[in-house]
Amino acid sequence: MGRSLPPASQLILNQIAELKSIYGALRRSDQLAMDEIFDVVQQHRAALANAATLLPLEALLVLALLEEHKRANRLYDELEGEIRRLQSAQQEASFIMKSQRHEETRK
């Protein structure tokens, strides 16, 4: 018995081929962004293979959205860490300034 569904990698390649007309009309910077989306989606071939009830384009969009969500969360985490670091540095600087003023008033 043969396969009833093409392999996930073939589904991805077929969908990319169907989007070539849109791809060709994009600016080069947008084409590069689209290339990145297709690259990250291909990391989820197993999930795509199990998404039998979805159309290939629907599955690609869901997986692209998943990757963007993960990327946004990483950026939020980095930003939150940087905010904490800056707040800590600000508190330390404030403490140093208060200490210096206190010493100056004692002289």
Residue 76, sorted as left (phi over 0), alpha (psi -120 to 50) or beta, turns out to be alpha
pLDDT (0 to 100) of residue 3: 59
Question: Buried b / exposed e across 6-26, counting CB within 10 Å, b at 16+?
Answer: eebeebbeebbeeeeeeeeee
For the segment 56-85, the average pLDDT, to the nearest whole number, is 92
Band of the pLDDT at 68, cuts 50, 70, 90? very high
pTM summary value = 0.62
Above 70 in pLDDT, residue 24? yes
